[in-house]
Amino acid sequence: MKQIVVLISGRGSNMEAIVQACATEGWNARIAAVVSNRPQASGLAFARARGIATAVVDHQAFESREAFDAELQRVIDGFAPDVLALAGFMRILTPRFVAHYGARMINVHPSLLPAFTGLHT
């Protein structure tokens, strides 16, 4: 069974769709954890209510993008994911982070990056 870790930054509507599809469509996978860069992300409550592990790595606690990404990677790897899904995760990640997950990472974003950034494109 594939282990999926989902990254969110807010409400988590894309994460909710992944969780529901995994359960109702008979995927050979489970959501191992939902991780957010924002402690107040409301999607964390959705995950907790379904018994999914959650974690927060607050990007504001780090002096550099590299330091944040290193800690985020450490937390994610603690859940041993086969797949990393960025589901409305609103942070730019360093090339080193992206290379670490290689072909195991998928980004679900509401717009074409970098041409159209933000939530209301």
Q: Which residues are catalytic?
A: 109
Instruction: Report how far residue 120's alpha carbon sits from residue 99's, in angstroms, rounded to the nearest whole number.
Output: 29
Q: How many CB atoms lie within 10 A of CB 21?
A: 12
Instruction: List, in order, residues 6 or more apart from 6 with CB less than 8 Å away.
Output: 12, 15, 18, 19, 31, 33, 34, 35, 47, 85, 86, 87
